[in-house]
């Protein structure tokens, strides 16, 4: 099979921007090659250009979703960036006496580790008084999130008390896996949401985790995405982004509180 040409890579750049709002920089050529090579073989395509034409012909909508899934999947793990979970705890503690449910949106949840990490903190502090929405553009990742099974060798930041309280350990053929228990899973809703499009009716939130996502968008798309997410925040609510990201020059609708933490004015 031929290597991907510059012209073919540019075509996939355009496709990903139109489908997901994501900009694939030039250094992502090897990622596109590696992640799509097997799909070319599965579809009988002899080149990346031929595979691109299949995707854009309208004949294989499921294959287009598969390609988008493969090119938008990012590594994630439980309790990533622990300071954000410390901040979540502090905010829950500050509002504990206010009553009502605490709602959090994990806006790029991938395979669900972030959403369930949030859920465990909330259930420990506000039993039964919280809801979490986890969303992603990848249908494949959302299926994994709903299944809620994870390899136990990827739990370096996972508090042991949460393992005992919220997870079941796999046995037999499922040895080496854990599964998040149903009472926690039933309060976490997973939905396919494209942040580059108008949001569906999902309500408003006390906190939104939008971490390690904006780095994949160009400046105009960042502004549009942040505008939509900010509209879904309650007054006084907080937006958390990745530590390598910033909203400087993107919006003045949110106040910076700390690195990667912003607040919507009350």
For residue 110, CA distances in Å to 56, 138, 148, 244 come to 25, 7, 12, 18
Separation of alpha carbons 239 and 136, rounded Å? 17
Catalytic residue, chosen from 29, 69, 103, 136, is 136
Hey, is 81 helix, strand or coil? coil
Which of 70, 81, 65 is CA-nearest to residue 110?
Answer: 70
Active-site residue 35, yes or no?
A: yes
| Candidate list 35, 140, 228, 263, residue with the active-site label | 35
Helix (H) or strand (E) run with residue 144 in it? helix 139-147
CA distance 191 to 200: 10
Cα distance between residue 118 and residue 123, in whole Å: 9
135 in Cβ contact with 210 (< 8 Å): no
Is 223 an active-site residue? Answer: no
Residues forming the active site? 35, 136
């Amino acid at each position: 099979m031929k290597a991907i040409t510059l012209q073919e890579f540019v075509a996939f750049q355009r496709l990903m921007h139109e489908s997901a709002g994501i900009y694939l920089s030039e250094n992502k050529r090897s990622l596109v090659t590696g992640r799509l090579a097997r799909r070319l073989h599965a579809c009988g395509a002899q080149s990346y250009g031929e595979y691109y034409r299949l995707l854009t012909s309208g004949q294989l909508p499921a294959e287009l979703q598969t390609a988008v899934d493969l090119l938008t999947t990012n590594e994630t793990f439980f309790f990533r960036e622990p300071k954000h979970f410390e901040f979540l705890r502090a905010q829950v503690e500050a509002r504990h006496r206010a009553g009502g449910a605490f709602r959090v949106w994990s806006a790029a949840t991938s395979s669900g580790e972030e959403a369930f990490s949030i859920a465990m903190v909330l259930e420990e502090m506000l039993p039964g008084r919280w809801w979490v929405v986890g969303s992603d553009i990848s249908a494949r990742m959302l299926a994994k999130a709903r299944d809620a099974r994870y390899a136990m060798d990827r739990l370096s930041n996972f508090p042991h008390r949460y393992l005992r309280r919220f997870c079941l350990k796999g046995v037999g053929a499922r040895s080496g896996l854990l599964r998040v228990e149903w009472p926690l899973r039933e309060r976490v809703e997973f939905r396919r949401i494209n942040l580059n499009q108008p949001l569906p009716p999902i309500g408003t939130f006390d906190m939104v985790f939008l971490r390690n996502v904006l780095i994949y968008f160009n400046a105009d798309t960042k502004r549009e995405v942040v505008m939509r997410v900010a509209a879904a925040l309650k007054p006084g609510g907080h937006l958390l982004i990745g530590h390598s990201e910033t909203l400087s020059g993107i919006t003045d609708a949110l106040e910076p509180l700390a690195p990667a933490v912003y607040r919507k004015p009350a």
